[in-house]
Structure formats: C-alpha cells, structure tokens
C-alpha cells in the first residue's frame, strides 16, 4: 500500500491558451464563449483527475492533449502553417518536486510513481503527423527512467521524422495531413503572405472563404499534485509563416518552460540575508584578499584583526625566490583552499516552481524568459516570490518588453505572458500569471468570498464585457 503524503498538498493547476494582440474588436461574444467553454472544460476535468490522485505529469499531459485536439488553439490540430504551407509542431514537458526524496527513486513519494525526475525535461520539434506532440514529449522524458537508457536515452530534445516514428512504434497516434488542415489557419497563412490566390501546399486544399479569427499562441498547463510534484507541459504550432525548420521557445529548456526545486535556509525564507552563507562567503573572501595584499595596503590597515601576511623566506633578488611565487600545476601552497561558506546549521526549507510561457517565442529565447523567472526566485539576495519574478519578466515593462526596444507594440516582438505555480514544503501553493500584451487566455481556480474554490477563465486584465 502506498504511504500517506508527507505534506498536505492540495492539487491545483493553471492553463494558458495563447497571448498577444487580442483586440476586443476581433473577439465577438460568440467566439469568446467558445474559448471560455473549451478552457473551462479542460480546467475542470483536469482538476478532477488531480483530485482523484493523478500525478502532476499525467494531469498536465491530459490538459494539453485536450487542447491539441481543439482547433481553437495553435497546437496539434489547430497548428499554424509555415512559409512553405506545412505544419511543424513542437512540445515540451518538465517536472520537479518540493520533496527532495522524489529525485532519488523517481517515485511520487506517498503516491503512484510519476517518473521523469532523472531527465527532468524533454522536448520534441519539427513534428508533422503526430496527433499529440505533448504525449511524444512525455515518452522522451520517461525514456530516461529506464535502467538501460544509456547516453541516447538521456537526450532532452529530439526532432523530426525519426522521433515521430519512434513515438508511433510506442503506440502514439499518427494522423494524415488533412487532420491538421483548418480553414482558419490557412486563411491566416494566405493573409499574412499578402497573396490573393491560393498557395500551393501538400495539403491539397482549395481556397476556402472563412471567418478570419485572431491568431493565438502557445498553450500550456502547470499542475501541482497531492504528492508535492509539479509538472509543466507546453505545445505549439509556432508562428504563422515561420521559416521551415525554425525552432522556437516551446521546446527550448529555460526559454518557454521551466520547473525546479531548491532549498532555502530558515533565515533566507524569512528574508534575513545578513547571516546568509552568501554574506559569509563575501566576508571570508575579503579576509583572504587583505591577507594577500597586506604589504601593499600599508600602515593604514595596521592593527586590524585580519590574518597577517607572511613573506616567503629568502632573497627577493634571486631567481629561486621569484620562481617560488609562481603556482605550479602540482603545488597548492599559494592557493586558498578553505570553504567560502561554512555549512549552515539553519533548517532547510524546500520550494518548487513551474512555469509555462506563451507569446513571441524568439523574444522568450533571447531572454531565457522562463529560466530567468526561476533564477530570480532562487538566487535573489532576498527571496523573491514567484508572482513578483513573473511580473519582472513577463509583466508590463518587464524583461520581455524591454528586449523589443522601440519595436514593442509594432512587430509583436517582446509580447507574451507566463503562468506558474509556486509551492513550499508546508503545502502552501500559489498560482500566478502576468502578461504585457493586450490579452492572454488563462484558466485557473481562485477562492470566492465564501472561501470556496471556483474555476475562472479570463483573456483581458478585466472581465470580458
């Protein structure tokens, strides 16, 4: 029988369905209702799986698989066309756990085995015929758990026909080109090319008149399960009329997605940085520098409590003395070998974050957007909550927007948003999001005035009217 969970982790999740220039004039009520209905269904049935004990990985893959079958979203069946009039899809998955023991045995600890902790991240790209790219990404992730995986089993990113055929051999579903052709995406393809006639495509479809709908970006899911595991899944068809062979942020670890866990000492978690190991390291480094340069610093530093520098014995004018000043490959006599930080006696508290981005992928690549958020949480001198870190990167005026310079708002560069979940060892979790563009489709759970969790779907910063 499985052991009981080590902490009261309450399952939760957040989804995104694309971000960008979503003007109200391009989003009539009937179209808004379709998006809202789809996201609400995918949110609630994925939450039901989590409440029933599903792992974060299974739940996140389930949510994105549902979106890959929905023509509304730019992934799977609703993927956009590239310049050659073809489909090239990509997807990724990454896992982490707030419980350190999860990484040792690849178990969900107190629940069903989740897997994926050896490789942690996996991605696939340049896919054309796989119905669910996200499921192929999961297969690549879990391959690393095998005893005989070897070097090839630990690859994090695989592309093209070979990985698709490998996935089909493992039971993943293959679809014909007609499955991925949609009128909406074909019209977008033609319109952006500025062609008044039908493009030649191997899809073999004719010119069809249809409703011009606003293009959407990447989809993603971030889930927390009852065992303290987090998983992020992301899938996309990329940018409309991208160059064939282009690889975006979705399959690039640290750009369009990220998940990690890390330990904080008690004083770090409370914001007390004066006694942190980093401060200790700086202090000891200063002492070593004073020790080395004491003779140069002169009498102004006399009488300090710093260690005394001892001159090497011998005559400074001899070649033997001068050669002793050089550090040989085998000598460590002049090399500082002490620890920069004493082992902390403070108790360690673990924290995990998981993130998925959507928007202009090239901007996410240039800024390593998702990893930048995680780094702010982990390495800031004062612990930074995930909500603040997400806003600093993906919010108005954040790093993504700054990366576009004066082109922001005119070319689509720098536009995007990020969703995420942060969880501590105590079980406390927070769902976060922010974006710098007109809108971002997202769905999550929040508490109402009565303290009851209710599903929420939004696209703009304010409610749709």
Query: What would the pLDDT profile of 18-71 be if each residue is shown by its tens digit?
Result: 998 888 888 899 999 999 999 999 999 999 999 999 999 999 999 999 999 999
Strand order in the sheet with 348-359: 257-265, 348-359, 416-424, 429-435
- Looking at beta carbons, which pairs linking 205-210 to residues 24 or more positions away fall under 8 Å? 205/181, 208/183, 210/183, 210/184
Given a cut of 50, whether residue 273 has pLDDT beyond it is no
Identify the CA nearest to 180 among candidates 246, 128, 123, 243. 128
Counted domains in the chain? 1
**Is pLDDT of 351 > 90?**
yes
Residue range 281-307: average pLDDT?
A: 55
Q: Is residue 121 part of a domain?
A: yes
Answer yes or no: 358 catalytic: no
Strands 121-127 and 439-447, by their bridges, are: unpaired
Q: How many Å apart are CA 257 and CA 304, to the nearest integer?
A: 50
For residue 4, being part of any structural domain is answered with no
Residue 334 is assigned to a structural domain of this protein:
no
pLDDT, tens digit, 9 for 90 and up, residues 55-65: 999 999 999 99
Residue 148 placed within a domain: yes
CB 123 within 8 A of CB 139: no
CA distances from residue 158 to 149, 171, 177, 365, 437 in whole angstroms, order as listed: 15, 18, 21, 18, 31
Identify the residue with better confidence: 342 or 248.
248
When pLDDT is averaged across residues 433-441 and rounded to a whole number, the result is: 96
Domain range for residue 64?
12-270+346-458
Is residue 298 domain-resident? no
What percent of the chain is modeled with pLDDT above 90?
61
Query: Which of 12, 46, 55, 218 is the catalytic position?
Result: 218
Structure tokens at 74: 């730019």
Domain for residue 305, yes or no? no
Residue 184 belongs to some domain of the structure: yes
Sign of the alpha-carbon dihedral angle for 46, 17, 163, 147: negative
The token duo for 60 is: 């996140």
Q: How does residue 265 score in pLDDT terms, banded at 50, 70 and 90?
A: low
Binned at pLDDT 50, 70 and 90, residue 206 comes out as very low
- How much is the average pLDDT of 369-391? 95
Q: pLDDT digits over 168-203, tens only?
A: 999 999 999 999 999 889 888 888 887 544 444 444
Q: Is residue 361 part of a domain?
A: yes
The percentage of residues in the chain with a pLDDT greater than 70, rounded to a whole number, is 74
- The sign of the torsion formed by the CA atoms of 358, 363, 366, 369 equals negative
The answer to whether residue 332 scores a pLDDT higher than 50 is no
Residues 103-132 pLDDT 10s:
764 444 456 678 899 999 999 999 999 999
What CATH number is attached to the domain comprising 194? 3.60.20.30
């Amino acid at each position: 029988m499985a052991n009981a969970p080590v902490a009261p982790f309450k399952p939760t999740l957040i989804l995104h369905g694309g971000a960008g220039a979503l003007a109200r004039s391009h989003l009539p009520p009937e179209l808004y209702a379709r998006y809202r209905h789809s996201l609400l269904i995918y949110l609630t049935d994925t939450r039901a799986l989590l409440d029933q004990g599903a792992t974060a990985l299974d739940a996140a893959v389930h949510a994105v698989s549902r979106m890959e079958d929905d023509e509304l979203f730019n992934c799977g069946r609703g993927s956009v066309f590239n310049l050659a009039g073809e489909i090239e899809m990509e997807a990724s998955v990454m896992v982490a756990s707030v419980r350190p023991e999860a990484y040792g045995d690849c178990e969900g600890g107190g629940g069903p085995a989740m897997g994926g902790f050896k490789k942690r991240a996996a991605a696939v790209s340049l896919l054309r015929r796989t119905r669910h790219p996200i499921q192929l990404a999961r297969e690549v992730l879990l391959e690393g758990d095998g005893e005989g995986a070897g070097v090839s089993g630990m690859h994090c990113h695989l592309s093209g026909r070979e990985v698709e055929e490998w996935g089909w051999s493992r039971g993943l579903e293959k679809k014909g080109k007609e499955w991925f052709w949609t009128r909406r995406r074909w019209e977008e393809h033609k319109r952006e090319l500025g062609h008044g006639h039908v493009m030649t495509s191997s899809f073999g479809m004719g010119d069809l008149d249809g409703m011009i709908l606003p293009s959407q970006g990447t989809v993603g899911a971030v889930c927390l399960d009852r065992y303290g595991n987090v998983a992020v899944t992301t899938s996309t068809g990329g940018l409309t009329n991208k160059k064939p062979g282009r690889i975006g942020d979705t399959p690039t670890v640290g750009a369009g997605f990220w998940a990690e866990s890390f330990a904080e000492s008690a004083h770090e978690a409370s914001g007390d940085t004066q006694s942190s190991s980093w401060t200790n390291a700086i202090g000891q480094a200063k002492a070593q520098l004073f020790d080395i340069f004491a003779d140069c610093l002169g009498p102004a530093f006399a009488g300090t409590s710093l260690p005394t520098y001892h001159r090497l014995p011998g005559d400074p004018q001899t070649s033997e003395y001068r050669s002793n000043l050089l550090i040989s490959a085998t000598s460590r006599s002049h090399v500082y070998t002490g620890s920069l930080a004493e082992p902390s006696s403070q108790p360690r508290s673990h924290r995990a974050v998981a993130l998925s981005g959507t928007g202009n992928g090239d901007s996410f690549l240039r800024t390593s957007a998702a990893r930048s958020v995680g780094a702010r949480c982990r390495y800031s001198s004062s612990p930074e909550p995930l909500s603040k870190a997400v806003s600093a990167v993906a919010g108005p005026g954040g790093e993504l927007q700054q990366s576009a310079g004066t082109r922001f708002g005119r070319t689509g560069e720098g536009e995007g948003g990020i969703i995420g979940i942060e969880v501590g060892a105590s079980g406390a979790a927070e769902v976060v999001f922010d974006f710098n563009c007109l809108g971002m489709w997202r769905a999550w759970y929040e508490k109402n005035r009565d303290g009851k969790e209710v599903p929420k779907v939004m696209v703009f910063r304010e409610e749709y009217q």
